[in-house]
């Protein structure tokens, strides 16, 4: 049969930053793309795809998307986890891309069609101090964005999550080992409510303000923060506690009405089943790339819909334009999809992955090309460019390791 999968390629490349991209080609020349980037563990997922998954795909029917998902998930016995689920996710997205191209339809049409005219997004504003932060907030407002994530420096700390010396933030540092940062929760908790209140005062009521705590607080500290910022009227506080302790959020919830978002490090519906079904969160942040692709995200979002939880996927620069495309198509076709993070990319990344998705009037649009609407410029995906790059680690002032 001419439509079976004939070629499986795993591209590890560095157009400005590391990405792992899966390219499947059918015998009749249809190409499907998937993103398998796991920041700081790129070669592990590349090997998983090349050595264990790729050989199983040759000669398979790309139209059996759900069956391939189940085969790669149930057939492996060692289930879940970021590496395996990113690999499965990449295959799943590539198969949806092939289906779109074979039928000549943009992916959102195959996912049920538009439920909204445009997709809300949020951008990042970062500044060491309040004037620098407000400058970036104003720039996003002027560019038409209504929802802004605000991250700022903490007095006494040299490096803080979400902040960089330049305007573009890249969490992964180049080099053979992670950068070590010092973290001080008390200083952070003393400082951040005042910053968020000052930003609210500056922008007025109509702007959605988001803040990422990056897993750093104990449940009672998170509860205190949630209460302290209630007058600010946050869109959400993200990742207030370490993500694997689902019960922690029950305690936070009992103390505050500030909306809670979590889930960028979750890989399956089973990682967030309790959080969703017990209504302990307001937004689920799972990403196409890290939680098993479009097929699995649809299941997570369906569970969330039943429980009044909204979808708000992760979208930093390490989620490639391929995954972002998948998320935007899903978002335009999913009723309980609230907002898509869009951190933005260096120019070279846009050139390396030419894409139909785009920003229009402060919102995201998927474009109308068949499938994902993303291609690859092979000249910008040179395997020799790959360089080890790790996410930082953090230690408290006494030297104990803490969540980064
Ligand atoms: O690879 C890790 C980053 O993607 C993460 O630190 C970004 O927390 C993040 C966010 O919300 O975008
Ligand atoms: Mg985050």
pLDDT in tens, 52-61: 999 999 999 9
Whether residues 20 and 123 fall in one domain: no
At 115, give phi and psi (nearest 5°).
-110, -5
**Residue 386 is a catalytic residue:** no
The CATH number of the domain holding residue 333 is: 3.20.20.120
User: Is the pLDDT at 175 greater than 70, yes or no?
Assistant: yes
Domain that holds residue 46: 5-106
Which residues partner with 21 through β-bridges? 11, 35
Atom number in ligand 1 closest to CA 341: 12
Structural domain includes residue 381: no
Whether residues 91 and 127 fall in one domain: no
Whether residues 45 and 134 fall in one domain: no
Residue with tokens 């997004």: 121
- Looking at ligand 1, which residue's alpha carbon is closest to its atom 4? 316
Give the residue-averaged pLDDT of 149-159: 96
Contact 91, 53 (CB under 8 A): yes
- Looking at ligand 1, which residue's alpha carbon is closest to its atom 10? 316
**Which string of DSSP letters, residue by residue, matches 29-74?**
--EEEEE---TT-HHHHHHIIIIIIHHHHTT--TT-HHHHHHHHHH
Structural domain includes residue 168: yes
Question: 369 CB under 6 A from ligand 1?
Answer: no
User: Is the pLDDT at 255 greater than 90, yes or no?
Assistant: yes
User: Is the pLDDT at 6 greater than 70, yes or no?
Assistant: yes
Atom number in ligand 1 closest to CA 161: 6
pLDDT at 169: 84
User: Is the pLDDT at 164 greater than 90, yes or no?
Assistant: no
Contact 16, 346 (CB under 8 A): yes
| Angstrom distance (rounded) from CA 393 to CA 395 | 7
| Angstrom distance (rounded) from CA 124 to CA 148 | 6
Q: How many separate domains does the chain show?
A: 2
Pull the structure tokens for residue 296.
Answer: 């699995």
Question: 149 CB under 6 A from ligand 1?
Answer: no
Give the residue-averaged pLDDT of 122-139: 97
Whether residues 11 and 94 fall in one domain: yes
User: Is the pLDDT at 112 greater than 80, yes or no?
Assistant: yes
Whether residues 198 and 333 fall in one domain: yes
Question: 314 CB under 6 A from ligand 1?
Answer: yes
* Predicted TM-score of the model (pTM): 0.98
Question: 35 CB under 6 A from ligand 1?
Answer: no
Question: 171 CB under 6 A from ligand 1?
Answer: yes
The model's confidence at residue 167, banded by pLDDT at 50, 70 and 90, is low
User: Is the pLDDT at 165 greater than 90, yes or no?
Assistant: no
Give the residue-averaged pLDDT of 277-301: 98
- Looking at ligand 1, which residue's alpha carbon is closest to its atom 12? 316
| Angstrom distance (rounded) from CA 52 to CA 143 | 45
Tell me how far the alpha carbon of residue 316 lies from the centroid of ligand 1, in angstroms: 6
Contact 35, 322 (CB under 8 A): yes
pLDDT digits (tens, 9 = 90+) for 63-91: 999 999 999 999 999 999 999 999 999 99
Contact 145, 121 (CB under 8 A): yes
Q: How confident is the prediction for the chain on average, in pLDDT?
A: 97
Residue closest to 343 by CA, chosen among 92, 128, 107, 164: 164
Structural domain includes residue 400: no
pLDDT digits (tens, 9 = 90+) for 194-238: 999 999 999 999 999 999 999 999 999 999 999 999 999 999 999
pLDDT at 2: 74
Question: 318 CB under 6 A from ligand 1?
Answer: yes
Whether residues 59 and 123 fall in one domain: no
Tell me how far the alpha carbon of residue 188 lies from the centroid of ligand 1, in angstroms: 19
Tell me how far the alpha carbon of residue 214 lies from the centroid of ligand 2, in angstroms: 6
Atom number in ligand 1 closest to CA 162: 6
The model's confidence at residue 166, banded by pLDDT at 50, 70 and 90, is low
Contact 263, 286 (CB under 8 A): yes
Structural domain includes residue 236: yes
Whether residues 165 and 297 fall in one domain: yes
Tell me how far the alpha carbon of residue 269 lies from the centroid of ligand 2, in angstroms: 18
Question: 391 CB under 6 A from ligand 1?
Answer: yes
**Residue 161 is a catalytic residue:** yes
Residues 6+ apart with CB under 8 A from 132: none
The CATH number of the domain holding residue 10 is: 3.30.390.10
Pull the structure tokens for residue 381.
Answer: 């995906």
Structural domain includes residue 385: no
Whether residues 243 and 173 fall in one domain: yes
**Which string of DSSP letters, residue by residue, matches 295-354?**
HHHHHHHHHHHHTT-EE-----TTS-HHHHHHHHHHHHH-TTB--EE-----HHHHHHS-
């Amino acid at each position: 049969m001419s439509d079976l999968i004939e070629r499986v390629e795993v591209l590890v490349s560095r157009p400005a930053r590391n990405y792992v991209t899966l390219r499947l080609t059918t015998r009749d020349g249809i190409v499907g793309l998937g993103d398998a980037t796991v920041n700081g563990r790129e070669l592990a997922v590349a090997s998983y795809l090349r050595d264990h998954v790729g050989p199983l795909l040759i000669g398979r029917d790309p139209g059996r998307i759900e069956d391939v998902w189940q085969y790669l998930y149930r057939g492996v016995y060692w289930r879940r986890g970021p590496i395996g689920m990113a690999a499965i996710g990449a295959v799943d997205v590539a198969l949806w891309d092939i289906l779109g191209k074979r039928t000549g339809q943009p992916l959102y049409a195959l996912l049920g069609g538009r439920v909204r005219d445009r997709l809300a997004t949020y951008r990042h504003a970062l500044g060491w101090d309040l004037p620098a932060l407000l400058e970036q907030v104003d720039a996003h407002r002027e560019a038409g964005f209504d929802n802004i994530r605000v991250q700022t420096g903490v007095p006494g700390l040299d490096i803080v999550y979400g902040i960089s010396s330049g305007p573009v933030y890249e969490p992964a540092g180049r080099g053979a080992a992670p950068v070590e940062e010092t973290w001080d929760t008390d200083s952070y908790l003393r400082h951040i409510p005042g910053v968020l209140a000052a930003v609210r005062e500056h922008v007025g009521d109509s702007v959605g303000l988001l803040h990422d705590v990056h897993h750093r607080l104990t449940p009672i500290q998170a509860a205190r923060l949630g209460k302290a910022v209630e007058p600010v009227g946050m869109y959400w506080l993200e990742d207030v506690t370490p993500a694997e302790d689902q019960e922690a959020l029950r305690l936070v919830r009992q103390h505050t009405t500030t909306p809670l978002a979590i889930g960028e490090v979750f890989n399956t519906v089973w990682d967030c089943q309790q959080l969703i079904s017990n209504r302990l969160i307001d937004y689920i942040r799972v990403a196409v790339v890290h939680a098993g692709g479009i097929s699995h995200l649809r299941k997570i979002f369906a569970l969330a819909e039943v429980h009044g939880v909204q979808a708000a996927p992760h979208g930093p620069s390490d989620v490639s334009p391929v995954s972002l495309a998948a998320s935007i198509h899903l978002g335009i076709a999913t009723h309980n999809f609230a907002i898509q993070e869009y951190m933005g990319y260096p120019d070279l990344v846009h050139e390396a992955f030419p894409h139909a998705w785009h920003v229009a009037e402060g919102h995201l649009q998927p474009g109308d090309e068949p499938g994902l609407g993303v291609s690859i410029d092979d000249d910008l995906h040179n395997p020799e460019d790959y360089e080890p790059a790790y996410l930082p680690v953090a230690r408290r002032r006494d030297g104990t390791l803490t969540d980064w």
